[in-house]
Amino acid sequence: MLQKVVICGVDTSGLPLLSAAEQDELMKRLKAGDAAARDKFVVGNMRLVLSLVRRFWAKNANADDVFQAGCVGLIKAIDNFDLSVGVKFSTYAVPMILGEIKRYLRDGNSLRVSRSIRDTAYRILKVREKLEEADEEVTYDKIASEMQIAVSEVAYALDAISDPVSLYEPVYNKSGDTLLLMDQIFDEKNNDEVWTEKAALYEAISRLDRREKRILFLRYFEGKTQTEISSEVGISQAQVSRLEKTALKQIRACIS
């Protein structure tokens, strides 16, 4: 998909690039009902769609279908754009194009989400947007209270429509400094306290003799029984049990 140049019959390498003045003029004309200006404006903004489609190369979706979904978002943005708002068209169009592409990818995903859950999720998004406009701190509790549904239902519906995100997804990029999602994830299993405990454990194990280390390895890393270990090491099961208990006692004494 990455090498594809002709998408939906459109040679993307030859797409025109409109200046800001041309964009403004065409937008005024198309809002006045000029069909030719509308067609030219759509084609002139296909580069914007293409630049956003490239974000989804790794989704293994059909390039033509993703591009078409983006163009649907572009047309919706054109139809709903308000000249009086005072923002650039691209600023308004980007989230709408992305939303249409994500909707296509989500609906076409092999993991199907029921229509009722999707409808609930979209209502939740509208309520969240309404609360955000009121400058409120939006929480699941507030959304649930506003909609008179359970908090768990809010969380479940939003999770159901969320796209999987790569740990290497950039979440911040400024002046060449990129912050990845994985940079913001805290690993509770590898904090300083855990590392200290592991170091103490390794030190304690290193003080055991060779046979005790062997018994502990077979018992706790390979999951063998004391009877199996006795056959492999060449001593009785009672001796294995005694050596295991002694080794564990020594380890506890070292790390306590």
CA proximity to 7, closest of 48, 59, 52, 46:
46
Domains along the chain with CATH numbers = 6-107 (1.20.120.1810), 113-185 (1.10.10), 189-255 (1.10.10.10)
CA proximity to 211, closest of 234, 178, 186:
234
Residue 26: predicted pLDDT: 92
Task: Check pLDDT > 90 for residue 84.
Answer: no
Q: CB 85: neighbour CB atoms within 10 A?
A: 10
- Mean pLDDT along residues 26-40: 92
186 pLDDT band (50/70/90 cuts)?
A: low
CA proximity to 131, closest of 151, 149, 146:
146
Residue 8: predicted pLDDT: 67
CA proximity to 93, closest of 116, 66, 74, 72:
74
Residue 239: predicted pLDDT: 92
Task: Check pLDDT > 80 for residue 168.
Answer: no
113 pLDDT band (50/70/90 cuts)?
A: low
Q: What is the pLDDT of residues 116-136, one digit of tens each?
A: 787 888 888 888 888 888 766
Share of the chain above pLDDT 70, in %: 76
Give 191 or 236, the one with higher predicted confidence.
236
- Mean pLDDT along residues 209-220: 90
Task: Check pLDDT > 90 for residue 29.
Answer: yes
Q: What is the pLDDT of residues 53-65, one digit of tens each?
A: 877 765 556 777 8
**Amino acid code (one letter) for 37:** A
Encode 179-213 in three state secondary structure. EEHHHHCCCHHHCHHHHHHHHHHHHHHHCCCHHHH
Residue 34: predicted pLDDT: 92
Tokens of 143: 């959304």
212 pLDDT band (50/70/90 cuts)?
A: very high
Euclidean distance between CA atoms 18 and 24, whole angstroms: 10
Task: Check pLDDT > 80 for residue 4.
Answer: no
18 pLDDT band (50/70/90 cuts)?
A: confident
